[in-house]
Amino acid sequence: MREQMTKRGIDAYIIPSADPHLSEYLPEHWQARTWLSGFDGSAGTLLVSAQFAGLWTDSRYWEQALAQLEGSEIVLMRQGQDGVPDLNDWLCSELQAGMTVGADGFTLSMRAAHDLQAALEGVSLRFSWNEKLLDNIWPDRPALPVEAVYEHEVPFVSQSRADKLALVRKQMASLGTQWHLLSSLDDIAWILNLRGADVSYNPVFLSYLLIGPEQCELFVDEAKLNPTLTEKLVAEQILIRPYNEITQGLAGLEDKVKLLIDPARTTIGICQAAASLELVEALNPSQLFKSRKTPADIQNVRKAMEADGAALCEFFAWFEQAMANGEVVTEVTIDEQINAARARQPHFVCPSFATIAGFNANGAMPHYRATPESHAVIEGNGLLLIDSGGQYLNGTTDITRVVPVGQVSDSQKADFTLVLKGMIALSRAVFPVGFPAPLLDPVARMPLWQQGLDFGHGTGHGVGYFLNVHEGPQGISHRGYLNPNTGMREGMITSNEPGLYRPGQWGIRIENLVCNVAAQESEFGRFLKFETLTLCPIDTRCIARHLLDEAEINWLNQYHEQVRNRLQPLVKGAALQWLQERTRPV
**What do you get for the CA distance between the two ends of the chain, in Å?**
59
Identify the band that residue 165 occupies on the pLDDT scale cut at 50, 70 and 90: very high
Tell me how far apart the alpha carbons of residues 562 and 427 are, in angstroms, rounded to a whole number: 15
Across the range 343-369, mean pLDDT stands at 95
E strands along 58-172, which residues?
Answer: 75-78, 100-103, 126-128, 150-151
pLDDT for position 481: 63
Q: pLDDT tens digits for 487-531?
A: 889 999 999 999 999 999 999 999 999 999 999 999 999 999 999
What SS3 class is residue 23?
coil
Q: Which of 248, 250, 262 is nearest to 210 (CA)?
A: 250
Across the range 384-412, mean pLDDT stands at 98
292-295: which pairs have CB atoms within 8 A and are 24 or more residues apart?
A: 292/489, 292/490, 292/491, 292/492, 293/465, 293/491, 293/492, 293/493, 293/515, 294/158, 294/159, 294/491, 295/491
**Side chain identity, residue 209:** L
Q: pLDDT tens digits for 465-484?
A: 999 999 989 999 877 666 77
Q: Are 319 and 286 in contact (CB under 8 A)?
A: no
Query: What phi, psi does 194 have (nearest 5°)?
Result: -120, 155
Identify the band that residue 63 occupies on the pLDDT scale cut at 50, 70 and 90: confident
Tell me how far apart the alpha carbons of residues 385 and 510 are, in angstroms, rounded to a whole number: 9
Q: pLDDT tens digits for 326-347?
A: 999 999 999 999 999 999 999 9
Q: Are 516 and 490 in contact (CB under 8 A)?
A: yes
Distance of CA 346 to the CA centre of its chain: 24
The secondary structure element, H or E, covering residue 385 is: strand 382-388
Tell me how far apart the alpha carbons of residues 351 and 311 are, in angstroms, rounded to a whole number: 13
**Domain spanning 150-282: CATH superfamily:** Creatinase/prolidase N-terminal domain (3.40.350.10)
Share of the chain above pLDDT 70, in %: 99
Share of the chain above pLDDT 90, in %: 90
Top pLDDT among 68 and 63 is at: 68
Q: pLDDT tens digits for 291-302?
A: 999 999 999 999
2-136 and 150-282 in the same fold: yes
Question: What count of other Cβ atoms lies within 10 Å of the Cβ of residue 550?
Answer: 7
Peptide bond into 436 cis (omega under 30): no
Quickly list H helices, 369-493: 410-427, 441-449
Tell me how far apart the alpha carbons of residues 78 and 55 are, in angstroms, rounded to a whole number: 8
Q: Where do the domains of the chain lie?
A: 2-136, 150-282, 292-582
Is 90 exceeded by the pLDDT of residue 35? yes
What's the chain's length in residues? Answer: 586
Q: Which of 82, 74, 83, 44 is nearest to 61 (CA)?
A: 44
Q: What is the per-residue DSSP string for 185-226?
A: HHHHHHHHTEE--SBTTB---S-EEEE-SS-EEEES-GGGS-
Q: pLDDT tens digits for 87-98?
A: 999 999 999 999
CA dihedral of residues 83, 84, 88, 92 (deg, nearest 10): 60
Is 70 exceeded by the pLDDT of residue 194? yes
pLDDT for position 482: 64
Tell me how far apart the alpha carbons of residues 408 and 150 are, in angstroms, rounded to a whole number: 48
Across the range 187-207, mean pLDDT stands at 97
Identify the band that residue 10 occupies on the pLDDT scale cut at 50, 70 and 90: very high
Least confident of 60-69, 193-202, 348-357, 411-420: 60-69
Is 70 exceeded by the pLDDT of residue 366? yes
Q: Which of 288, 334, 300, 344 is nearest to 570 (CA)?
A: 344
Distance of CA 86 to the CA centre of its chain: 22
Tell me how far apart the alpha carbons of residues 220 and 215 are, in angstroms, rounded to a whole number: 16
Across the range 20-29, mean pLDDT stands at 93
Across the range 6-18, mean pLDDT stands at 96
Q: pLDDT tens digits for 111-134?
A: 999 999 999 999 999 999 989 999
Mean pLDDT of the chain: 95
Eight-state DSSP code of residue 98: T
pLDDT for position 80: 84
Tell me how far apart the alpha carbons of residues 34 and 1 are, in angstroms, rounded to a whole number: 14
Task: Enumerate residues 6+ apart whose C-beta is below 8 A from 167.
Answer: 285, 286, 289
Across the range 251-270, mean pLDDT stands at 92
Distance of CA 335 to the CA centre of its chain: 19
| CATH class belonging to 2-136 | alpha beta
pLDDT for position 255: 82
Q: Are 548 and 417 in contact (CB under 8 A)?
A: yes
Identify the band that residue 463 occupies on the pLDDT scale cut at 50, 70 and 90: very high
pLDDT for position 521: 95
Query: What phi, psi does 470 have (nearest 5°)?
Result: -115, 120
**Side chain identity, residue 218:** L
Helix axes 573-582, 550-567, angle to 10 degrees: 160
Query: What is the side-by-side strand order in the sheet with 348-351?
Result: 348-351, 390-392, 395-396
Question: What count of other Cβ atoms lies within 10 Å of the Cβ of residue 465?
Answer: 27
Q: How far is CA 34 from CA 38, 57, 63, 487, 490, in A?
A: 5, 13, 16, 35, 39
The secondary structure element, H or E, covering residue 69 is: helix 62-69
User: Beta partners for 51?
Assistant: none
pLDDT for position 16: 95
The secondary structure element, H or E, covering residue 168 is: helix 161-174
pLDDT for position 335: 95
Burial class (CB in 10 A: 0-12, 13-18, 19+), 94: middle
pLDDT for position 273: 86
The secondary structure element, H or E, covering residue 518 is: strand 512-522
User: Helix %, strand %, coil % for the chain, to 5?
Assistant: 40, 25, 40
Has this prediction a pTM greater than 0.85?
Answer: yes
**Side chain identity, residue 474:** Q
Q: Which of 266, 279, 219 is nearest to 105 (CA)?
A: 266
Task: Enumerate residues 6+ apart whose C-beta is below 8 A from 565.
Answer: none
Q: pLDDT tens digits for 550-577?
A: 999 999 999 999 999 999 999 999 999 9
The CATH architecture assigned to 292-582 reads Alpha-Beta Complex (3.90)
CA atoms within 13 A on the CB side of 302: 13
Q: Are 300 and 145 in contact (CB under 8 A)?
A: no
